[in-house]
């Protein structure tokens, strides 16, 4: 009997080996659905090229593909970039699609902040963010700190590296810049990360580590990474260490802010320098008693972390990819410079210049170039939803509760069915109408800022910051990528460059 069982095992193993070898010889790029383990072997073997693999598979499959996970792990995922499906999940069928409990557990480091929040908790946070963005003193405060950080801090660092002739990692500079500015309009305090010493910032490193671990959790059965967390080993040990650094830093800000608000009589107002027109002050002075959140430092910490993450990482990612695309497309760089130069008096055209928000709002080509970079390299490369009850998407695909529906925004920007045959080209012109104005593109086709009820409130703020930085850099400096430097997307929930963006800089007006 034992011999017979062994023979059966050998036969099954031989058949599986034959199928696998045959699959390799006729590889069409699609993951093979194996017994027991599903498609995970193929996915894990290509994990270093996950974004490109996803784009290739979705192009082959018409924009939607079901990834089968290992048996009994509840890891089946429906990937889709079909605009009709995106619109349905984010708007028309919004009530049936939430982030789900598993999402909240994967992103547990963000606590009850707006990224994880649902229902009333999400509504109150969104209401507060909308209120803040509508305040004249906040907009004034935002413009002031953005201008100061670009024209003083960033330019000082760039001039230093230009004079020294040293290689600089622009991705690192952008992360420091956006961390400083985001912390200032979220907490009111300047961490001072952007200076010529470029000292190590434990908080920034901890943020990067948490994002990498969150990405890893998406590829593991929940029971496995939770076991690792319980044992405090591997990537989960890295997560716990990073979380402690983040928590300690943010609790320091909150304690300091409570003292400041208390000494001011608990009022939310614009101080002499506008240094209290920030989100943390708003929450502390307008605590919502109906949710029982008063005097809850942990909730305040979650609020700050969510907004710092959203502002710091997404904007720095967008600027990094934008600058790389402009450097590698000289014709685009020339057109941006021509557009910038057109608003300058002729006798001032050969001097250093910084552009106001009013001037930049009249530059459609620059806006189009930034939008095109966001299309090809979205800072958040995928979104994740789960249906509350079984549903059918517009493409006819059925989804069931606890099944992840994932939008690959990276793949969406590379779909010929969505953007045309030239979808892989960097063409700012696709965003400009024949009349020369910005062309309307539906959010369900360009989903970088999400869509529907949860559309990003900071879209205008992000464009304002990116235009200010982009115009200052492109008009005043020349950039050259270091020879041999490889630009590769990293594997994280934020699309950064694995090796940074190493360049040499020269001043155009020296």
Q: Which residue numbers belong to the known binding site for heme?
A: 456
292 Cβ contact list (under 8 Å, min separation 6): none
Give the Cα separation of 496 and 456 in Å (integer): 20
- CA 376 vs. chain centroid, Å, equals 13
Torsion of Cα atoms, 491 then 496 then 501 then 507, to 10°: 180
CA-atom Rg of the chain in angstroms: 24
User: What DSSP letter does each residue of 289-326 carry, written as one string?
Assistant: GGGT-TT-HHHHHHHHHHHHHHHHHHHHHHHHHHHHHH
Of 360, 358, 353, the closest CA to residue 155 belongs to 353
Of 125, 146, 401, 156, the closest CA to residue 286 belongs to 125
Give the Cα separation of 23 and 31 in Å (integer): 10
User: What DSSP letter does each residue of 72-141 carry, written as one string?
Assistant: TS---EEEE--HHHHHIIIIITGGGEE-HHHHHHHTGGGTTSTTT--HHHHHHHHHHHHHHHH-HHHHHH
Q: Quick one: DSSP state of residue 151? A: I
Which residues make beta-bridge pairs with 384?
406
Give the Cα separation of 510 and 500 in Å (integer): 27
User: Strand, coil or helix: what is 490?
Assistant: coil
- Helix pair angle (202-218, 170-187), 10° resolution: 100
CB neighbour class for 262 (10 Å; exposed up to 12, middle 13-18, buried from 19): exposed
| Cα–Cα distances in angstroms (integers) from residue 141 to residues 120, 183, 433, in the given order | 29, 13, 33
Which residues make beta-bridge pairs with 80?
64, 407
Query: Length of the chain in residues, anyone?
Result: 510
Please report which helix (H) or strand (E) contains residue 386, including its range. Answer: strand 382-387
Q: How many CB atoms lie within 10 A of CB 447?
A: 24
191 Cβ contact list (under 8 Å, min separation 6): 179, 180, 183, 201, 203
Alpha helices by DSSP H, 234-296: 234-263, 279-285
Which residues make beta-bridge pairs with 168?
503
């Amino acid at each position: 009997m034992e011999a017979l069982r062994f023979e059966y095992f050998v036969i099954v193993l031989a058949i599986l080996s034959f199928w696998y070898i045959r699959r390799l010889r006729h590889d069409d790029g699609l993951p093979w659905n194996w017994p027991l383990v599903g498609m995970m072997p193929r996915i894990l073997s290509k994990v270093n090229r996950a974004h490109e693999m996803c784009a290739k598979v979705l192009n082959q499959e018409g924009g939607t593909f079901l990834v089968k996970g290992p048996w009994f792990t509840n890891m089946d995922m429906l990937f889709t970039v079909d605009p009709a499906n995106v619109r349905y999940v984010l708007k028309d069928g919004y009530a049936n699609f939430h982030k789900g409990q598993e999402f909240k557990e994967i992103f547990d480091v963000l606590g009850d902040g707006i990224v994880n929040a649902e229902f009333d908790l999400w509504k109150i946070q969104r209401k507060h963010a909308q209120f803040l963005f509508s305040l004249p003193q906040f907009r004034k405060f935002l413009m002031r700190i953005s201008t100061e950080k670009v024209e003083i801090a960033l330019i000082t660092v760039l001039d230093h590296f230009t004079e020294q002739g040293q290689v600089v990692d622009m991705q690192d500079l952008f992360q420091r810049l956006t961390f400083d500015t985001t912390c200032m309009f979220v907490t009111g305090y300047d961490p001072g990360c952007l200076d010529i010493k470029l000292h190590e910032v434990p908080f920034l490193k901890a943020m990067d580590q948490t994002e990498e671990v969150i990405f890893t959790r998406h590829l593991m059965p929940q029971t496995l990474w939770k076991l690792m967390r319980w044992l405090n080993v591997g990537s989960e040990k890295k997560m716990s260490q990073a979380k402690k650094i983040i928590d300690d830093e943010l609790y320091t800000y909150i304690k300091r802010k409570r003292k400041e608000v208390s000494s001011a009589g608990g009022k939310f107002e614009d101080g002499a320098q506008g240094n209290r027109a920030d989100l943390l002050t708003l929450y502390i002075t307008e605590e919502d008693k109906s949710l029982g959140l008063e005097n809850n430092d942990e909730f305040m910490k979650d609020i700050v972390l969510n907004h710092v993450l959203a502002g710091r990482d997404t904007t720095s990612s967008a600027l990094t990819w934008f600058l790389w695309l402009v450097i590698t497309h000289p014709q685009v760089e020339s057109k941006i410079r021509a557009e910038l130069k057109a608003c300058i008096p002729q006798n001032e055209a050969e001097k250093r210049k910084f552009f106001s928000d009013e001037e930049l709002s009249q530059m459609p080509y620059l806006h189009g170039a930034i939008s095109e970079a966001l299309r090809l390299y979205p800072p958040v490369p995928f979104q994740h939803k789960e249906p509350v009850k079984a549903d059918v998407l517009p493409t006819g695909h059925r989804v069931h509760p606890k099944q992840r529906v994932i939008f690959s925004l990276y793949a969406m920007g590379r779909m010929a069915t969505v953007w045309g045959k030239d979808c892989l080209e960097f063409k700012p012109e696709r965003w400009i109408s024949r009349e020369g104005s910005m062309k309307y593109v539906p959010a369900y086709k360009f989903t970088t800022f999400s869509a529907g009820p949860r559309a990003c409130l900071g879209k205008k703020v992000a464009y304002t910051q990116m235009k200010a930085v982009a115009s200052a850099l492109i008009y005043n400096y020349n950039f050259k990528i270091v020879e041999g430097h490889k630009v590769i997307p990293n594997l994280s929930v934020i699309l950064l460059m694995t090796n940074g963006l190493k360049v040499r800089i020269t001043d155009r007006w020296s």
